[in-house]
Amino acid sequence: MKHRYSRREFVKKTSLAPLELSAAAWISRLPIAETASADGSLLWQMFVRPPDDARIMMRWWWFGPAVTHEELEREIRAMQEGGIGGFEIQPVYPLELDDPSRGIRNLPYLSDGFLDAVRFVNRKAQELGMRLDLTLCSGWPYGGSKVPVAQAAGMLRVARVHLSDGEDSVALPSLEAGESLIAAWAVKDEHSELSGENVQALDDISGPRVKVEPQGRFHAVLFFISSRTGQLVKRAAVGAEGFVIDHYDHAAVDAYLHSTGDRLMQAFETLKPYAVFSDSLEVFMSNWTPELLEEFRRRRGYDLKPYLLALVGDAGPESSSVGCDWGRTLTELANEHYLFRLRQWADQNGTRFRCQAYGEPPVTLSSNRLVDLPEGENPDWRGLSPARWASSACHLYGKPVTSAETWTWIHSPAFRATPLDLKAEADRHFLQGINQIVGHGWPYSAPEAGEPGWRFYAAGALNDHNPWWPVMADVALYLQRMCFLLRQGRPANDVGVYLSNSDAWARFMARINPSVNEILSSILGKEVLPAILDAGFNFDFIDDEAIDLVGIPHAAIVLPGVERIPLTAYRKLRDYAQHGGIVIATRRKPALAPGLHEGQRDSEGVQALTRDLFEGQNARCTFIEDESDLGAALASKLTPDVQLNPKVPEIGFIRRRLDAGELYFLANTGNQPHDLEVTFRVKKLSPERWDPFTGSRSEVRWSPAPDGRIVVPLHFEPYESAVLIFSGSPSAPAAPRANPSALPAPLDISRDWKVTFEGTGKSIRMDPLRSWTEIEGLRYFSGQGIYEKSVAIPASMLDRAARVYLNFGKGVPLEPHRRRNGIQAWMDGPVREAAVVYVNGKRAGSVWCPPYELEITEWLKAGENIFRIVVWNLAINSMVGQSLPDYRLLYDRYGRRFEPQDMNDLHPLPSGLMGPITLIARS
């Protein structure tokens, strides 16, 4: 029999290191952030040439899987050439039926043929120095054909049987496979309080009918059934169909790891994957397991069965306390039997465990401490997103790398996303502390599928079938440099936002999805987080488990509408306040300890601490009823880290504290340009601006504020970002720029371009510039257009201390609106969608995002200069000109495993250079 740890034993064994692994060995397996040398020289050198482990990754969808060694190798090499450093294998649903005449053969999941493909890819990745992660399932969540119903995801089913007038008994509800009857109550009215004379426990439920006495008093019987959700694996590959496992059941998890995990590891021999991956948990409505009553009694110290009515309605004042204990028990079971067990298994197999630990089952922020490589998603940098959830846990528990599933819902439909869309979303992740991009994703496509090839049902189709792929290496290098920079030094967010897991658990009901982070988001509301950001601070989330295990590393902590808090955590908050920490509660003050027994024992202590901390003349903490006042309250107690003048909510920042300075990343997440003065909470250091596009750095104009802080004027184009490094001794503020009147006038070169369209035999003189879709025969063209022109450059443009820029004009902002699917940059650029510029035969660089210009001074000469601009548009134009795939027979054979997204309103999009194109000299 396996040893079962007490709660105290489990926390002790999992707080810093996994079971049976020394602390030193554990630390040696973690990715370590390089730190700058004292003078910053190492940081600069590595910024220019960032390490390969900072490269982006891609989720690689294998459809069917109908894969061949030849195409697998071709796609791996294409990824590498595009600046992608690794991939995560994700087998999913088939897109075509087996067709020997076309070389299409779906390899059943876990078959010898499938494992041979995995083995081949692993060897090729090792050969090319690329990272390989493996999802331990097909689709998501974990489950499949080998999962019996007795180990399928569990739920509490409540069957209501009406009691007709004159009846004194009801028939037991029918039970399906995997179900068992727990208890039953006769009730007067489900909408009234389910306690006292309104209910009666029915002790004899051995059936087939249940007696209800006295006759006529009750109107229904509620039967509580240990049931199964019936959820099947989503987007399953051929042979991977089946039930989702019970994440609370250690036997179910172990059986799955044996049947699926151990089988997958046979493909790896001595070359293990970098990590195994657990994708979105999403075990919807899973709130029960057959052993729950026993586990609950052992952990909470009382029997849940008499309190089951509290899980379906108002059963009196103890209802929320019982719900809190129920939710906490579910969390502990998910932590111990799923997350902890997966990490153990990964370690035993010589790899790491990467996981998206949020959603349902109800894992908490601190559940991420059980994961080697926490991962988030969602670019909502001003809300409670899973990305911020994961990065906060990494900051608290000393994990230097936080990945994010990025571009999950990028500009829909497939092949609609632009390089600008990719940057715009990635920057939002960077603002949340993400420093590893896992792109969603790369569709494997059989050569027989043609162009643009196979695609995932959701938006992202980010492979080399996009016409703009030639600039992907430049996009990836920007992301690589940013991921590298945001791993340096230490996190430096000022504010901790306390998340009361207990308040979330207390709201658990059998009829709602048991997600801690979703309920916490509703408790948090819409005002708290924007108020913190707009006041000039950045934040992490923190929960009571983190407070207990690692303390509070922030200068201030906010308790947003918190009602319940464990007394031990509250005492640590008191100690924190006594030592100068800033504590602000909003909307309400803590009043209860969580749970039934703990609440009865400790709530008076919580209330006494609240009086001590928030009331009376010596109160150390601040209470704010109106959350719109939160930002001002924070700024009155702590100097803002970054102040924008004027305030622009769309511009965010994140700071990292370096050994010998400060690193700031700022990003404009909106579609309007802004000129502002930015005051940084930095003194006695000099700023430089580092350019992650070019790997160059430049002086920054600045001035001192009256209190010694540094004020930097910054201009942001739409979706533009900036990196500022503060280091060294303070130097004199940079001299103002040269008088624009002393510089040569801009030179408009918009007219009379020769444009050649690849593969069409068509070459035209374009004057004026216009969209390719306006040209006869090119409405449905996707591909490459080459613009060529000779330009006479006057010597006056080159003989001053000026730099010359090739400017492609401004973008046109679009009115943002809420999309059913997809995240996009709300702007039509003057370059649709990417360009590479050659001057006199030399590659000057690529253009695919604001400010839509390149500095080209070093390639120019006085007199005639040959400009060659290669432009690529989107694959969607050619898609519009084709018939869409007919999946009827596929659905008949395999069921409707997917639904292509947003394919009902396709039309060709403007393409090419919109103009004007100008040469501009600047100081």
pLDDT tens, 461-503?
A: 999 999 999 999 999 999 999 999 999 999 999 999 999 999 9
Report percent pLDDT > 90 for the chain: 89
Quickly count: other Cβ atoms within 10 Å of residue 284's Cβ. Answer: 17
The model's pTM is 0.95
Q: Tell which CATH classification among 3.40.190.80, 3.80.10.10, 3.30.420.40, 3.20.20.80 matches the domain 34-146+232-490.
A: 3.20.20.80
Residue-level pLDDT at 799? 79
The DSSP H or E segment spanning 476 is helix 472-485
Q: HSE-up of 795 (CA within 13 Å, CB side)?
A: 0
Give the DSSP letter of residue 730: P
- DSSP string covering 326-347: HHHHHHHHHIIIIIHHHHHHHH
Asked if pLDDT for residue 5 goes beyond 70, the answer is: no
What does the pLDDT look like over 255-306, one tens digit per residue?
999 999 999 999 998 999 999 999 989 999 999 999 999 999 999 999 999 9
Cβ atoms of residues 482 and 91 within 8 Å: no
Using 50, 70 and 90 to split pLDDT, how confident is the model at 372?
Answer: very high
Token code pair at residue 415: 């092949």
Q: Between these two residues, 216 and 756, which has the higher pLDDT value?
A: 756
Longest dimension (CA), the chain: 105
Asked if pLDDT for residue 698 goes beyond 50, the answer is: yes
Token code pair at residue 132: 């390989």
102 - beta bridge partners? none
For the chain, the C-alpha Rg in angstroms (whole number) is 30
Asked if pLDDT for residue 239 goes beyond 90, the answer is: yes
Which residues, other chains included, contact 697 with Cβ-Cβ below 8 Å and sequence gap of 6+?
44, 688, 689, 690, 691, 725
What does the pLDDT look like over 589-631, one tens digit per residue?
999 999 999 999 999 999 999 999 999 888 999 999 999 999 9
What does the pLDDT look like over 494-537, one tens digit per residue?
999 999 999 999 999 999 999 999 999 999 999 999 999 999 99
Asked if pLDDT for residue 58 goes beyond 50, the answer is: yes
Chain centroid to Cα 154, Å, comes to: 27
Token code pair at residue 907: 């039309």
Residue range 865-892: average pLDDT? 97
Mean pLDDT, the chain, integer: 94
Residue-level pLDDT at 192? 81
Residue-level pLDDT at 38? 40
Domain spanning 747-922, CATH class: mainly beta
Residue-level pLDDT at 776? 96
Using 50, 70 and 90 to split pLDDT, how confident is the model at 13?
Answer: low
Asked if pLDDT for residue 741 goes beyond 70, the answer is: no
Give the DSSP letter of residue 231: P
- Smallest CA-to-CA distance from 565 within 504, 521, 626, 624 is with 504
Which residues, other chains included, contact 561 with Cβ-Cβ below 8 Å and sequence gap of 6+?
503, 523, 524, 525, 586, 587, 588
Question: Tokens 């003057």 map to which residue?
Answer: 830
The SS3 of residue 463 is coil
Q: Tell which CATH classification among 3.30.450.70, 3.90.79.10, 2.60.40.1180, 1.10.10.10 matches the domain 639-736.
A: 2.60.40.1180
CA angle 136, 139, 143 (to 5 degrees): 60
For strands 495-498 and 490-491, give the pairing: unpaired
- Domains of the chain: which residue ranges? 34-146+232-490, 154-228, 494-621, 639-736, 747-922
Residue-level pLDDT at 190? 73
Residue-level pLDDT at 678? 99
For strands 373-377 and 403-406, give the pairing: parallel
Residue-level pLDDT at 40? 75
